[in-house]
């Protein structure tokens, strides 16, 4: 069975979890987590590379020991270290770490003192009131655990978009290589760039007699064939994702692609339009009576119903059909529209590459500028910068800018917003920067009023440019904090500052709804990678997908601007420009 990068990353994540519970050296734990993150985001196919070349290229944070473990996993499907750790601690216990409020120490206490090592056991212990008596817990913590477990158990199992991409894309390529196959396209929520995917839909056109379905059933990663037929088959992959493959004739491809892309609500609305015109729309085409009059392409389906093509990311029945009828569909952001990236880290804090390496990687991706925004001093685990170290990095950035052509490094910081709304570094050092990104990294459980007040106060600081990952969520790991997002967005508008759409697949924060809210209020959004390595600039594609779901156009995005146009907007947030420039920074932007 093929071993994907995501499979190796999952092994390393479990090793890190189990080592964490054992209270192993935190640097050793972090090494496995960093390696998992690198592999999860790496476009290079590790298994194929090892088989073709016999060795791996140099990868950030992966030395000889981890490299040997990668080879072991590729060759055997497992890792001896993980097997040994599983004998010491039940493997199911790692799922407890995904419950908000449960860190390694608490999980270890629950395991040793109450014998809890599954979610069901945790749920029962919380319901029976047995957790509150443990040292370091209490009644309030027990109630929070109970609510979090119930939410987790009720949630449909879904897979993050970046993870699903590894399995979906390789399977689509595999099916596309079958004899007689014309198209093999991923549809469903994946094509709509939803942040999580429940299952994978692949649409295939194939000539009569094509062995594509037999090829699907024999795919090395298929764990169980759930159903099999000449036009529809379903299977469960070993990773736990269900895949549905449908075969349609070429003349129905566009109609089928539209139908299986969804969403359900969008499809219902489209069928209603067809009925109003005396037509019938289904996955086989658009019909007038028994005659098919369109369906070979998606464009033909929309045109026959009197509509322009609606991009897949918008198909949620959230106003896109009305906008199409009025000729008001947005010209959505493209990856090539991004001129720079305003959030990145180097090994000066918790990144994995040097300043020069990050600059050269950004230039290789044809970016014009890159903001270096290390963590501030409060983030001790990330070795955040104090004023002295930040001043030293400012000098390094200026020196490198004199040496490099084709890329400009901007001097920035990702400064912690403290509980009282103040910033983690003094104004005297912030004033020396090109931009200041503020972020909430602690005290996520404040009341809605206190959390909102905290952020609003931070936005009022004299040196503040972008609010990073504004809701604080980690998808399927940490819920967003409770905050009045409309109030925050309007404050950003009035203050003339900006909001980040963090492109990391675990964040994708802003949500699509908040992107639309920002657009409506005239607040520019910065689509940033939050790159901690040269590989993570690739995450910008996921950020662009989220921006498209949020109806954002090129003119709505701060870093779609050339550096000469960007600088006055940044300066306006740092007290370096006239009132006219400040008003320009706040004003809604048209298409650039």
Q: What CATH number is attached to the domain comprising 490?
A: 3.20.20.140
3-state secondary structure of 90: coil
Tell me the pLDDT band of 579, cut-offs 50, 70 and 90.
very low
Segment 418-433 shows an average pLDDT of 97
Distance CA 187, CA 312 (A): 9
Residues 500 and 379 grouped into a single domain? yes
pTM of the model as a whole = 0.82
* Tokens standing for residue 298: 């998606």
- DSSP helix, strand, coil percent of the chain (3-state; round to 5): 50, 15, 35
Q: Are residues 80 and 166 in the same domain?
A: no
Q: Assess whether 459 and 555 both reside in one domain.
A: yes
Task: Measure the CA–CA gap between 22 and 571, rounded to whole angstroms.
Answer: 49
Does pLDDT of 309 surpass 90? yes
What is the model's pLDDT at position 489? 97
**Arithmetic mean of pLDDT, 295-310:** 98
Please report the pLDDT score of residue 541 as a whole number: 96
Asked whether residue 402 carries a pLDDT value surpassing 50, the answer given is yes
Q: Would 263 be classed as within a structural domain?
A: yes
Provide the domain limits for residue 267: 160-325
The two beta strands, 285-288 and 280-282, are: antiparallel
**pLDDT recorded at residue 341:** 98
247 and 284 inside one domain: yes
Which of 154, 174, 209 terminates a domain? The answer is: 154
pLDDT digits (tens, 9 = 90+) for 473-530: 999 888 899 999 999 999 999 999 999 999 999 999 999 999 999 999 999 999 999 9
Q: Does one domain contain both 320 and 352?
A: no
Q: Please give the pLDDT value at position 100.
A: 76
Verify that 70 and 198 share a domain, yes or no: no
Q: If you average pLDDT over every residue of the chain, what do you get?
A: 92
Which range (56-65, 161-170, 304-313) has the least confidence?
56-65
Number of domains in the chain: 3
577, 576, 578, 583: which is closest to 431 by C-alpha? 576
| Each residue's pLDDT tens digit, 21-39 | 888 888 899 899 889 988 8
Q: Name which of 48-62, 194-208, 393-407, 567-581 the model is least confident about.
A: 567-581
Query: Which of 127-141, 362-376, 410-424, 441-455 is least confident?
Result: 127-141
Is residue 297's pLDDT more than 70? yes
In a domain, 149, yes or no: yes
Q: Based on the domain organization, do 414 and 495 belong to the same domain?
A: yes
Looking at the structure, do residues 164 and 149 belong to the same domain, yes or no? no
Q: Last residue of a domain, which of 93, 125, 154?
A: 154
Q: What was the pLDDT predicted at 4?
A: 87
Q: Are 367 and 338 in contact (CB under 8 A)?
A: yes
Checking if the pLDDT of 590 tops 60, the result is no
- Asked if residue 182 and residue 146 are part of one domain, the reply reads no
* pLDDT: which is higher, 582 or 467: 467
8 Å CB contact between 516 and 332: no
Assess whether pLDDT exceeds 50 at residue 586.
no
The verdict on residue 194 lying in a domain is yes
Question: What would the mean pLDDT of 413-423 be, rounded to a whole number?
Answer: 97
* pLDDT at 583 exceeding the cut of 60: no
| Span of 78-87, 220-229, 241-250 with lowest mean pLDDT | 78-87
CATH for 65: 1.10.150.110
**CA 457 to centroid of chain Cα atoms:** 28
Taking 70 as the threshold, does the pLDDT of residue 285 lie above it?
yes
In a domain, 183, yes or no: yes
Could you tell me if residue 257 is inside a domain? yes
Residue 330 forms part of a structural domain: no
Cβ atoms of 33 and 17 within 8 Å: the answer is no
| Residue 584 in this model has a pLDDT that exceeds 60 | no
- Burial code (b: 16+ CB inside 10 Å, e: under 16) for 228-254 equals eeeeebbbbbebebebbbbbbbeebbb
Which of 438, 452, 518, 458 lies closest to 480, judged by CA? 452
Predicted local confidence at residue 577, as pLDDT: 67
Number of neighbouring beta carbons within 10 Å of residue 428:
10
Residues pairing with 373 in the sheet: 412
pLDDT digit string, tens, across residues 434-465: 999 999 999 999 999 999 999 999 999 999 99
Q: What is the DSSP letter of 56?
A: P
Together in a domain, 452 and 407: yes
Residues 371, 509 within the same domain: yes
The CATH number covering residue 245 comes to 3.30.460.10
d(CA 434, CA 26): 34
Average pLDDT over residues 538-567: 97
What integer is the mean pLDDT of 128-144?
91
CB 543 within 8 A of CB 195: no
Residues 6+ apart with CB under 8 A from 61: 31, 34, 35, 38, 352, 533
Region 302-330 average pLDDT: 97
| Residues ≥6 apart with Cβ < 8 Å to 9 | 35, 36, 37, 39, 40
Better-predicted residue by pLDDT, 135 or 282: 282
- Establish how many alpha carbons lie within 13 A of residue 121's alpha carbon, considering only the half-sphere containing its beta carbon: 14
Measured distance CA(503)–CA(520) in Å, rounded: 21
- Of 279, 295, 325, the last residue of a domain is 325
User: Which pLDDT score, from 0 to 100, does residue 479 have?
Assistant: 86
Which pLDDT band, with edges at 50, 70 and 90, does 358 fall under? Answer: very high
Local confidence band at 208 (pLDDT 50, 70, 90 cut-offs): confident
Per-residue pLDDT, 156:
66
Question: pLDDT band at 157, cuts 50/70/90?
Answer: confident
In a domain, 592, yes or no: no
In terms of domains, do 394 and 420 share one?
yes
Instruction: Report yes or no on 57 lying in a domain.
Output: yes
Which of 12-21, 155-164, 242-251 tops mean pLDDT?
A: 242-251
The angle, 0 to 180 degrees and rounded to 10, between the axes of the packed helices 161-176 and 26-41 is 40
């Amino acid at each position: 069975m093929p071993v994907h990068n995501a499979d190796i990353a999952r092994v390393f994540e479990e090793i890190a979890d189990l080592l964490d519970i054992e209270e192993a050296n935190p640097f050793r734990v972090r090494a496995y987590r960093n390696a998992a993150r690198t592999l999860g985001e790496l476009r290079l196919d590790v298994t194929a590379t090892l088989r073709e070349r016999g060795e791996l290229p140099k990868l950030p944070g992966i030395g000889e020991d981890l490299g040997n473990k990668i080879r072991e996993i590729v060759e055997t499907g497992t890792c001896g270290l993980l097997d040994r750790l599983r004998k010491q601690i039940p493997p199911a216990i790692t799922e407890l770490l995904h419950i908000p409020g449960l860190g390694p120490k608490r999980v270890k206490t629950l395991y040793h003192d109450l014998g809890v090592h599954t979610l069901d056991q945790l749920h029962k212990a919380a319901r029976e009131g047995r957790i509150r008596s443990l040292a370091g817990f209490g009644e309030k913590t027990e109630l929070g655990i109970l609510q979090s477990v119930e939410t987790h158990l009720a949630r449909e199992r879904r897979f993050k978009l970046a993870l699903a991409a590894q399995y979906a894309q390789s399977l689509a390529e595999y099916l596309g290589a079958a004899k007689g196959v014309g198209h093999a396209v991923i549809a469903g929520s994946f094509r709509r760039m939803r942040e999580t995917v429940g299952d994978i839909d692949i649409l295939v056109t194939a000539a009569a007699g094509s062995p594509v379905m037999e090829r699907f059933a024999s795919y090395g990663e298929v764990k169980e064939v759930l159903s099999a037929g000449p036009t529809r088959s379903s299977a469960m992959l070993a990773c736990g994702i269900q895949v549905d493959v449908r075969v349609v004739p070429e003349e129905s491809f566009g109609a089928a692609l539209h139908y299986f892309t969804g969403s359900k609500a969008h499809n219902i609305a489209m069928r209603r339009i067809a009925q109003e015109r005396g037509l019938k729309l289904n996955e086989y085409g658009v019909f007038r009576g028994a005659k098919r009059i369109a369906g070979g392409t998606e464009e033909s389906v929309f045109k026959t119903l009197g509509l322009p093509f609606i991009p897949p990311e918008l198909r949620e029945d959230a106003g896109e059909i009305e906008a199409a009828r009025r000729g008001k569909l947005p010209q959505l952001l493209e990856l090539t529209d991004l001129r720079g990236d305003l959030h990145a880290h180097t090994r000066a804090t918790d990144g994995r590459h040097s300043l020069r390496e990050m600059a050269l990687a950004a230039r290789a991706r044809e970016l014009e500028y890159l903001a270096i925004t290390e963590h501030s001093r409060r983030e001790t685990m990330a070795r955040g910068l104090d004023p002295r170290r930040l001043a030293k990095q400012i000098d390094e950035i200026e020196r490198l800018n004199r040496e490099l052509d084709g890329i400009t490094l901007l001097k920035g910081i990702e400064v912690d917003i403290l509980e009282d709304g103040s910033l983690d570094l003094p104004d005297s050092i912030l004033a020396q920067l090109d931009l200041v990104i503020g972020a909430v990294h602690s005290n996520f459980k404040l009341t809605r009023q206190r959390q909102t007040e905290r952020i609003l106060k931070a936005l009022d600081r004299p040196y503040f440019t972008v609010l990073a990952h504004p809701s604080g969520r980690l998808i399927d790991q940490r819920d967003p904090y409770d905050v009045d997002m409309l109030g925050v967005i309007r404050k950003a508008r009035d203050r003339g500052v900006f909001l980040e759409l963090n492109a990391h697949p675990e964040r994708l924060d802003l949500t699509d709804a908040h992107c639309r809210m920002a657009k409506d209020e005239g607040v520019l959004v910065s689509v940033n990678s939050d790159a901690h390595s040269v590989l993570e600039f690739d995450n910008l594609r996921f950020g662009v997908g989220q921006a498209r779901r949020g109806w954002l156009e090129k003119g709505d995005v701060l870093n779609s601007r050339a550096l000469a146009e960007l600088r006055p907007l940044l300066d306006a947030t740092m007290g370096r420009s006239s009132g006219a420039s400040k008003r320009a920074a706040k004003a809604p932007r048209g298409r650039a």
